[in-house]
Amino acid sequence: MTDGCTVTDPLQATGGGPRHGCPVLPARGVFRPLGLADVSLDGGFWGGRQEVNATATLAHCEEWMERVGWLANFDRVAEGSTGPDRPGWPFSDSEVYKLVEALCWEVGRSGAPTAETAIRRLTARIARAQDPDGYLNTCFGHSSQPARYSDLEHGHELYNTGHLLQAAVARLRTTGADGLVEVARRAADHVCGTFGADGRNGICGHPEIEVGLVELGRALGVDRYVEQAALFLERRGHGTLREMPLGRAYFQDDVPIRQADTWRGHAVRALYLSAAAVDVATDRDDRDLLDAVQRQWRHAVARRTYLTGGMGSRHQDEGFGEDWELPPDRAYCETCAGVASIMVSWRLFLATGDPRYTDLVERTLYNVVATSPSSDGRAFFYANPLHQRTPAASTAGAGVSPRAETGTRSAWFEVSCCPTNVARTLASLAGYVATTDDGGLQIHQYAPATIRTRLPDGQRLAVRVETDYPASGGIHVHVTEGSGQPWTLSLRVPAWAAGARLVHDGRSTPVTPGMATLHRAFQIGDVITLELPVRPRLSRPDRRIDAVRGCVAVERGPEVLCVESHDLPAGDAIDSLEIDPFVPPRDVDGVVRVRGRLAAPAVPEQDWPYPAAVDIAPAAVDIAPAAAGWFEVPLRPYHSWARRGPSSMRVWLPATRSHADGHSS
């Protein structure tokens, strides 16, 4: 067995060592990612969340998995005592693996001994459940269980294995080979033996094995795993799986990935599949495949993505809807789809260097990933709608909910994919912050951070990023180590940041969205400041997004803002709010305010909600203002919604002076 992180030359040569700590480590690409070994987040918006994740969420997840019996499922297999009463869905094994993955990144991030102990504790239970031939699953293949791979459409066996492999990759890249890696290697070999080119023509109903195989293949230097992933990718889209009521688009088995024009069907499935496709395309230099995923990304981002970066418009199939079908109230925007979207975009960025991808990573981090967990890291949103009509019944902490879709974060779900997905993303977040190329260092996400690396010419360099972004827009990069040789510092300027400036040596120069670069012989002590204009701004929807016609939204820096009923004078009156889009939003001490008014309730209540337009006197066209008239409506970051208790909430705000009903105001 090869050691940890043997990678191909370019990375090996430039700091990508065995313990590099990267969630993704492609064989080639425009930029080379820096991992947890190179980058640490020091407090701030994300560092604080990493601490909560480390001290609360990880243990919370393990406790719940013990409580609901998902961990004991492994013991039962080991003991030969499986029965028909197995708790959990068929995919509950994957939650254990995702937790182990999160723990591995946490060890890589902080070296926390409690995390290390938990990894060993969990690995021991997992390893005991592995069959002699490498097969590992607690739901199939043992006494009183369906046969192995008897329900590829919905059984999630390969999906579970994929997450096991990702956990092993995290272990390899942070600590090194151990028993977990050995379990994963044997499981991967079993998959290749069963589903290889000469084996069964099968794929999993839920993509994930592919992304696990590629990364394990990279981490162990085993090409066969990458080949198996490519095989799974190519088999898909030909009706390989049996038909299901929602149609084969649900699991992307309707059209081959090279031919598809957009993402469709179940959002997490579509995105995990695409992440693997980028991996395969990159390592094999397969432009056709890479182009296909880029085309799908462009289409879906332009027409099937929420302002928050959230993806998935439909509850029915947790899926993408049609173009422009983006209802804010019924937005599904599963937290896991946000995580998966980041996986795809980061891979596309590394392959292409196009900062549109890292823009979407940032948007999704702040408005989907950051939204899910509660402040204490012990409750989570599963769905992330942009409009909550009525405050949820307060059920926080009341135990297991089917899914947390109703405006209250829940401690645990029956389908509890999101907490561990958030945990592994937060623990590995430093891996998405910066890259290098032959000429220098690029920083893509802004947070207080320490970054140390070595350029290909052997030059060591280190910078310290100081900022309270996104509260304010000043990003200060202090050079703390360097040889005095020239190199290029590149800083992402988000697409929204028109008017940004780069300040260095007492000079301030305007920079445009994209990458701002500065090439010079930096000296220790140099400070380069990127000034991003995080003043609040109004955004409007494409006219084809019917569900939010006539509305505007307020954004501030990377954060989407929202109005919550907590901040309205009349209590729960979110439905009667209307704002004046002609008065720019104001930012006073970090609280953004817009000019708004509330409608007085109709008296008497209308008994039919579709009056004749012609009967409406002009005076009645606009909302009849309440006694209070215009007032300043405070907005809060969307990610903080429902933290002060159940609320009604909306991101898209109806704007005044709409003449849509046929009269002037």
Query: Angle formed by the axes of helices 335-352 and 267-283, to 10°?
Result: 20
Stretch that binds a copy of itself, among 5-13, 123-131, 176-184, 312-320 (CB under 8 A): 312-320
By beta-carbon proximity to a copy of itself, the closer residue of 462 and 583 is: 583
* Residues shown for the chain: 665
Contact 414, 89 (CB under 8 A): yes
Q: Strand, helix or coil at 232?
A: helix
Told to check if 552 binds a copy of itself by CB under 8 A, we report: yes
Least separation in angstroms between residue 578's CB and a copy of itself is 8
Tell me, letter by letter, the H, E, C secondary structure of 309-334: CCECCECCCCECCCCCCCCCCCCCCC
**Helix H or strand E segment including 338:** helix 335-352
Contacting residue, 196, 611, 618, 645, with a copy of itself by CB under 8 A: 611
Q: Strand, helix or coil at 580?
A: coil
Told to check if 487 binds a copy of itself by CB under 8 A, we report: no
| Beta-carbon count within 10 A of 167 CB | 32
Contacting residue, 261, 285, 457, 546, with a copy of itself by CB under 8 A: 546
Residues from 260 through 299 that contact a copy of itself (CB under 8 A):
298
Stretch that binds a copy of itself, among 120-128, 316-324, 338-346, 446-454 (CB under 8 A): 316-324
Told to check if 239 binds a copy of itself by CB under 8 A, we report: no
| Beta-carbon count within 10 A of 621 CB | 18
Q: What one-letter code names the amino acid at 232?
A: F
Least separation in angstroms between residue 348's CB and a copy of itself is 14
Told to check if 59 binds a copy of itself by CB under 8 A, we report: no
Stretch that binds a copy of itself, among 130-138, 273-281, 451-459, 609-617 (CB under 8 A): 609-617
Contacting residue, 328, 373, 440, 596, with a copy of itself by CB under 8 A: 328
Residues from 356 through 375 that contact a copy of itself (CB under 8 A):
356
Q: Strand, helix or coil at 194?
A: helix
457 DSSP assignment:
T
Told to check if 314 binds a copy of itself by CB under 8 A, we report: yes
Report the alpha-carbon distance of residue 518 to residue 532 in Å, rounded.
Answer: 16
Residues from 77 through 106 that contact a copy of itself (CB under 8 A):
none
Report the alpha-carbon distance of residue 253 to residue 255 in Å, rounded.
Answer: 6
Spatial CB neighbours of 444, under 8 Å, sequence gap ≥ 6: 349, 355, 358, 361, 362, 432, 433, 434, 435, 492
What separation, in Å, do the N-terminal and C-terminal C-alpha atoms of the chain show?
A: 75
Q: Which residues of 14-35 are buried (b: 16+ CB within 10 A; e: fewer)?
A: bbbbbebbbbbbbbebebbbbb
Residues from 565 through 594 that contact a copy of itself (CB under 8 A):
575-576, 581-582, 584
**Phi then psi dihedrals of residue 478, to 5 deg:** -95, 125
Spatial CB neighbours of 244, under 8 Å, sequence gap ≥ 6: 153, 154, 250, 251
Stretch that binds a copy of itself, among 149-157, 485-493, 599-607, 631-639 (CB under 8 A): 599-607
Told to check if 617 binds a copy of itself by CB under 8 A, we report: no
Report the alpha-carbon distance of residue 437 to residue 349 in Å, rounded.
Answer: 13
Residue (of 614, 611, 594, 589) closest to 602 by Cα position = 611
Stretch that binds a copy of itself, among 10-18, 111-119, 481-489, 542-550 (CB under 8 A): 542-550
Told to check if 500 binds a copy of itself by CB under 8 A, we report: no
Residue 144: Cβ-neighbour burial (10 angstroms; 0-12, 13-18, 19+): exposed
Told to check if 540 binds a copy of itself by CB under 8 A, we report: yes
Contacting residue, 59, 527, 570, 623, with a copy of itself by CB under 8 A: 623
Least separation in angstroms between residue 488's CB and a copy of itself is 26
Stretch that binds a copy of itself, among 191-199, 201-209, 213-221, 539-547 (CB under 8 A): 539-547
Least separation in angstroms between residue 248's CB and a copy of itself is 12
By beta-carbon proximity to a copy of itself, the closer residue of 455 and 511 is: 511
Report the alpha-carbon distance of residue 657 to residue 190 in Å, rounded.
Answer: 64
Contacting residue, 1, 612, 619, 627, with a copy of itself by CB under 8 A: 612
Least separation in angstroms between residue 77's CB and a copy of itself is 27
What are the tokens at 416?
Answer: 């509890």
Q: How many residues bind a copy of itself (CB under 8 A)?
A: 75
Report the alpha-carbon distance of residue 424 to residue 631 in Å, rounded.
Answer: 43
By beta-carbon proximity to a copy of itself, the closer residue of 29 and 328 is: 328
Told to check if 610 binds a copy of itself by CB under 8 A, we report: yes
Q: What one-letter code names the amino acid at 438?
A: D
Told to check if 644 binds a copy of itself by CB under 8 A, we report: no
The DSSP bridge partners found for residue 637 are 561
Stretch that binds a copy of itself, among 171-179, 269-277, 462-470, 551-559 (CB under 8 A): 551-559
Residue (of 202, 117, 115, 107) closest to 161 by Cα position = 202
Least separation in angstroms between residue 357's CB and a copy of itself is 11
Stretch that binds a copy of itself, among 90-98, 208-216, 325-333, 425-433 (CB under 8 A): 325-333
By beta-carbon proximity to a copy of itself, the closer residue of 84 and 525 is: 84
By beta-carbon proximity to a copy of itself, the closer residue of 266 and 356 is: 356
Told to check if 521 binds a copy of itself by CB under 8 A, we report: no
Q: Strand, helix or coil at 288?
A: helix
Told to check if 545 binds a copy of itself by CB under 8 A, we report: yes
Told to check if 539 binds a copy of itself by CB under 8 A, we report: yes
| Beta-carbon count within 10 A of 610 CB | 6
Site string for a copy of itself, 391-430 (x = CB under 8 A): -----------x-----------x----------------
